[in-house]
Protein backbone atom coordinates (compact mmCIF):
# COMPACT_ATOMS: atom_id res chain seq x y z
CA UNK A 1 0.00 0.00 0.00
CA UNK A 2 1.29 3.44 -0.93
CA UNK A 3 2.21 5.88 1.78
CA UNK A 4 0.59 9.29 2.04
CA UNK A 5 3.82 10.82 0.79
CA UNK A 6 3.79 8.57 -2.30
CA UNK A 7 0.13 9.35 -3.01
CA UNK A 8 0.68 13.12 -2.75
CA UNK A 9 3.79 12.92 -4.91
CA UNK A 10 1.98 10.78 -7.49
CA UNK A 11 -0.93 13.24 -7.67
CA UNK A 12 1.44 16.18 -8.17
CA UNK A 13 3.29 14.30 -10.91
CA UNK A 14 -0.04 13.48 -12.61
CA UNK A 15 -1.07 17.15 -12.54
CA UNK A 16 2.30 18.26 -13.93
CA UNK A 17 2.09 15.57 -16.61
CA UNK A 18 -1.32 16.88 -17.67
CA UNK A 19 0.01 20.43 -17.92
CA UNK A 20 3.11 19.31 -19.80
CA UNK A 21 1.12 17.22 -22.28
CA UNK A 22 -1.31 20.08 -22.86
CA UNK A 23 1.61 22.36 -23.76
CA UNK A 24 3.64 19.92 -25.85
CA UNK A 25 1.20 17.62 -27.65
CA UNK A 26 -0.51 18.40 -30.92
CA UNK A 27 -4.28 18.51 -31.10
CA UNK A 28 -4.65 15.44 -33.34
CA UNK A 29 -5.20 13.19 -30.34
CA UNK A 30 -6.27 13.60 -26.74
CA UNK A 31 -3.71 12.32 -24.23
CA UNK A 32 -4.87 12.17 -20.63
CA UNK A 33 -2.77 11.03 -17.67
CA UNK A 34 -5.02 8.69 -15.70
CA UNK A 35 -2.82 7.42 -12.89
CA UNK A 36 0.74 7.30 -11.61
CA UNK A 37 2.64 4.37 -10.18
CA UNK A 38 5.59 5.36 -8.02
CA UNK A 39 8.35 3.41 -6.31
CA UNK A 40 8.67 3.64 -2.51
CA UNK A 41 11.93 5.60 -2.83
CA UNK A 42 10.24 8.07 -5.27
CA UNK A 43 12.98 7.48 -7.85
CA UNK A 44 10.87 5.70 -10.50
CA UNK A 45 7.57 6.93 -11.84
CA UNK A 46 5.29 5.34 -14.41
CA UNK A 47 2.59 7.62 -15.74
CA UNK A 48 -0.38 5.79 -17.24
CA UNK A 49 -2.22 7.60 -20.00
CA UNK A 50 -5.29 7.08 -22.11
CA UNK A 51 -5.09 8.23 -25.72
CA UNK A 52 -8.07 8.99 -27.92
CA UNK A 53 -8.62 8.07 -30.69
CA UNK A 54 -7.33 4.57 -30.12
CA UNK A 55 -5.68 4.58 -33.56
CA UNK A 56 -3.28 7.27 -32.26
CA UNK A 57 -2.05 5.26 -29.26
CA UNK A 58 1.19 4.06 -30.80
CA UNK A 59 2.09 7.50 -32.11
CA UNK A 60 1.12 9.12 -28.79
CA UNK A 61 3.14 6.75 -26.61
CA UNK A 62 6.20 7.20 -28.85
CA UNK A 63 5.81 10.97 -28.52
CA UNK A 64 5.65 10.73 -24.72
CA UNK A 65 8.65 8.42 -24.52
CA UNK A 66 10.66 10.85 -26.67
CA UNK A 67 9.65 13.69 -24.35
CA UNK A 68 10.60 11.97 -21.06
CA UNK A 69 13.70 14.11 -20.51
CA UNK A 70 11.78 17.27 -21.38
CA UNK A 71 9.16 16.29 -18.79
CA UNK A 72 11.87 15.78 -16.17
CA UNK A 73 13.17 19.28 -16.98
CA UNK A 74 9.61 20.58 -16.69
CA UNK A 75 9.31 19.06 -13.20
CA UNK A 76 12.71 20.44 -12.23
CA UNK A 77 11.67 23.95 -13.29
CA UNK A 78 8.68 23.72 -10.98
CA UNK A 79 11.11 23.25 -8.07
CA UNK A 80 8.91 20.56 -6.61
CA UNK A 81 11.32 17.66 -6.04
CA UNK A 82 14.72 17.15 -4.48
CA UNK A 83 15.62 14.15 -6.61
CA UNK A 84 14.25 13.90 -10.14
CA UNK A 85 12.64 10.52 -10.72
CA UNK A 86 13.13 8.40 -13.81
CA UNK A 87 9.88 8.78 -15.73
CA UNK A 88 8.19 6.35 -18.07
CA UNK A 89 4.84 6.53 -19.86
CA UNK A 90 2.53 3.57 -20.51
CA UNK A 91 -0.95 3.04 -21.94
CA UNK A 92 -3.48 2.58 -19.13
CA UNK A 93 -4.84 -0.84 -20.03
CA UNK A 94 -7.05 -0.83 -16.94
CA UNK A 95 -8.80 2.30 -18.18
CA UNK A 96 -9.25 0.72 -21.62
CA UNK A 97 -10.80 -2.34 -19.99
CA UNK A 98 -13.10 -0.17 -17.90
CA UNK A 99 -14.27 1.71 -20.99
CA UNK A 100 -14.89 -1.55 -22.82
CA UNK A 101 -16.90 -2.89 -19.88
CA UNK A 102 -18.93 0.34 -19.72
CA UNK A 103 -19.74 -0.07 -23.40
CA UNK A 104 -20.83 -3.67 -22.88
CA UNK A 105 -23.02 -2.73 -19.90
CA UNK A 106 -24.68 0.02 -21.95
CA UNK A 107 -25.35 -2.47 -24.77
CA UNK A 108 -26.84 -4.99 -22.33
CA UNK A 109 -28.94 -2.26 -20.72
CA UNK A 110 -30.25 -1.18 -24.14
CA UNK A 111 -31.02 -4.81 -25.09
CA UNK A 112 -32.91 -5.37 -21.82
CA UNK A 113 -34.87 -2.14 -22.35
CA UNK A 114 -35.81 -3.26 -25.90
CA UNK A 115 -36.91 -6.70 -24.64
CA UNK A 116 -39.02 -5.11 -21.90
CA UNK A 117 -40.63 -2.71 -24.37
CA UNK A 118 -41.44 -5.49 -26.84
CA UNK A 119 -42.97 -7.63 -24.06
CA UNK A 120 -45.15 -4.70 -22.94
CA UNK A 121 -46.47 -4.26 -26.48
CA UNK A 122 -47.59 -7.91 -26.67
Compute the half-sphere exposure of residue 22: CA atoms within 13 Å on the CB side of its CA.
7
120 — pLDDT class (breaks 50, 70, 90) = low
Domain regions of the chain by residue span: 4-91, 93-122
94 — pLDDT class (breaks 50, 70, 90) = confident
Q: What is the dihedral of CA 88, 15, 100, 59, to 10 degrees?
A: -50
- Other beta carbons less than 10 A from residue 74's beta carbon: 17
Can you name the CATH fold of 4-91? GMP Synthetase; Chain A, domain 3 (3.30.300)
- Cα-Cα end-to-end distance for the chain: 55
Share of the chain above pLDDT 90, in %: 43
For residue 16, pLDDT over 80 is answered with: yes
Q: Is 92 helix (H, G, I), strand (E, B) or coil?
A: coil
Query: How many whole angstroms from its chain centre is CA 51?
Result: 8
- Tens digit of pLDDT for each residue in 36-49? 999 988 899 999 99
Does the pTM of the predicted model rise above 0.85? no
Amino acid sequence: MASTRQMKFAEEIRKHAGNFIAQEANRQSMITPTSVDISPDLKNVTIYVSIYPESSEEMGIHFLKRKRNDFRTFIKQKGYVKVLPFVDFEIDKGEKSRQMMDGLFEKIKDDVAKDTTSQDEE
